[in-house]
Chain A
Amino acid sequence: MIARHWLNRLFISGICLLAMIALVPLFSVLFYVISHGASSLSLEFFSSLPAPVGEIGGGIGHAILGSVVLISMCSLISIPLGLGMGILLSEYSQKPVSRVLGVVVELLSSIPSIVVGLFAYALVVRPFKGFSAHAGAIALSMIMIPLVARTTEEMLKLVPRSVREAGLALGLPKARVIVSIVLKGSLRSLTVGVILAVARIAGETAPLLFTAFASQHWFQGLSEPLASIPVQIYTYAVSPYEDWHAKAWGGALILILMVLGLNLLIRIFLPRRKDG
């Protein structure tokens, strides 16, 4: 009895220790970014264009707007396509097309993001002779589509088969069962999946370097280069100037706050129902 009791305690302490070790990097990143970036944050930082080197002030408003534009475009492409693929993968998994698609999604999601960027460069930037928001959105979509497809597939597979069978046994066509019962019942988890995918692509840098590239101006049109927070951070961080470094930290803090905000949104607006 006594030995078992102590063994139990030992294991619990061990697990707690491991959990704390895992939390160290997370909190140190948060702490570091906040302590370096907080001083850059001001209304001007959010709302104005970058100031020339040496001048005080300026901001990354154009990059924030650019990120919002890119994420919106990418979502418009990726959410319908990803949901469609996820439904095909989960509900029609016996069909040959679904098996092929499963492999394709698997491969797509394992392509390094820099390769995705190069691919979009060859596919869009070269033929149209210039960096553009279009190219950036397409590159980001190549990352987001498989993400959405995978989470959709997994969420839909959580719906027990007995529920689908109940629908079929009522004489509902399969498509009706999928839309009115399976999808409707998974609305919450699908939304969570999509928001997490958005949070993921919000921080992608590599696919944007050769596609949307960077810009020192406000949004100029979808066929023009477009600034984004991650690329702006990159530009500032690799520069030799002290005040640009500080702005890179500021940008990083905004990015983290955005992703954190999305996660909070999920928790506040989509609380888990007790009965479901």
Chain B
Amino acid sequence: MMTPSPVLLEVNGLKAFVESTEILHGIDLGVSRQEVVAFIGPSGCGKSTFLRCLNRLHEETPGGRAEGRVTLEGQDLYASGTDPVQIRRRIGMVFQKPNPFPSMSIFENVASGLRLNRIAKGVELEARVEAALREAALWNEVKDKLDASGMSLSGGQQQRLCIARALAVKPPVLLMDEPTSALDPVSTAKIEELVIQLKKETTILMVTHNMQQAARISDRTAFFLYGDLVEYGPTTKVFTTPSDRRTEEYITGRFG
């Protein structure tokens, strides 16, 4: 008789380290389904590290280590028996710089997650690649050159290709680490539109340095500073009546 919990992802006391330096000092935060959460804060405050802890990618950085509790639909991602590989199939990621696989074609890039994990092949694979490219609003631009190298696309197209690649495995959660910081305004607008569309099915956690972007597309905003979560709440509230003085100072551009 239980209804699914509205909280999809819950983080308790998450600490992250590189060698012996503590980068995150115990973060508590919950994310509901079909939300867009924006993470803002000055460079080096731990936003990206936080994101990378959620799909256990932080531990792949040399010296990287995390402790605490992160649960996705009730499953503890940091429990001893949990396989990070399985987690990453449910939590997709888009990086700051577009990083298509250089040796693969556009089709192969999008198909890679499905093909290499043996999830789909043949006609089903083609259908899912097309669906992912449509979702990423790239299909019309590449449908006639699916065999061209992923590197032959423009920066903005490459980033949408990476989004399509992440979406093809249908992850319930998508992490985006400054996905538009390397792109021009037109490509940025396309990706923002995309995020709003994707929200219907996917929960999105996005790091951004662009305040307007956070205000435009997110439902909730988290403000990080020096490895602490200073403020977390509905975006309109964080931007209009922040409860912490430091949040206000950052948003109004007095520091950072």
Contacts and interface: CB of A to CB of B under 8 A. Distances in A.
A162 B113 CA distance: 16
A166 B85 CA distance: 12
Q: Most chain-B CB neighbours within 10 Å: which of A94, A171, A273?
A: A171
A253 B251 CA distance: 74
B86 A162 contact: no
Contacts of B90: 171
B65 to A, nearest CB: 12
Interface in A228-276: 273, 275-276
B117 A171 contact: yes
Interface stretch (A6-14, A68-76, A173-181): A173-181
A171 B151 contact: no
A176 B118 CA distance: 11
Contact of A172 (B62, B92, B113, B166): B113
Given A168-B88, A172-B85, A163 B101 contact: yes
Contacts of A185: 101-103
B116 A176 contact: yes
Interface string B101-145: 111000000001100110000000000000000000000000000
Chain A interface size, as a band, is 20 to 34
Given A176-B116, A275-B151, A275-B152, A169 B101 contact: no
Interface string B82-94: 0001111110110
A165 interface: yes
A165 B64 CA distance: 14
A166 B177 CA distance: 12
Contacts of A171: 85-90, 113, 117, 169
B210 interface: no
B97 A181 contact: no
Contacts of B162: 166
B71 interface: no
Contacts of B95: 162, 165-166, 169
Contact of B101 (A176, A181, A187, A275): A181
A163 B102 contact: yes
Given A94-B62, A180-B116, A276-B102, A170 B149 contact: no
Nearest to B151: A275
B14 interface: no
B103 A169 contact: no
Interface string A148-166: 0000000000001011011
A172 B87 CA distance: 10
Which one of A163, A166, A169, A184 has the greatest number of beta carbons of chain B within 10 Å? A169
Given A160-B99, A184-B103, A275-B151, A170 B112 contact: yes
Interface in A166-205: 166-173, 176, 180-181, 184-185, 187
Contact of B151 (A162, A173, A180, A276): A276
Contacts of A170: 88-89, 92, 112-113, 116-117, 165-166, 169
B60 A172 contact: no
A162 B169 contact: no
Nearest to A185: B103
B97 A162 contact: yes
B55 interface: yes
B88 A169 contact: yes
Given A94-B62, A166-B95, A276-B149, A172 B117 contact: yes
A184 B149 CA distance: 14
Interface of B: 55, 57, 60, 62, 85-90, 92-93, 95, 97, 99-103, 112-113, 116-117, 149, 151-152, 162, 165-166, 169
Interface of A: 94, 160, 162-163, 165-173, 176, 180-181, 184-185, 187, 273, 275-276
For the complex of A and B, list the 3 residue pairs with the smallest distance between their C-beta atoms, beginning with the closest: A171-B89, A185-B103, A169-B93
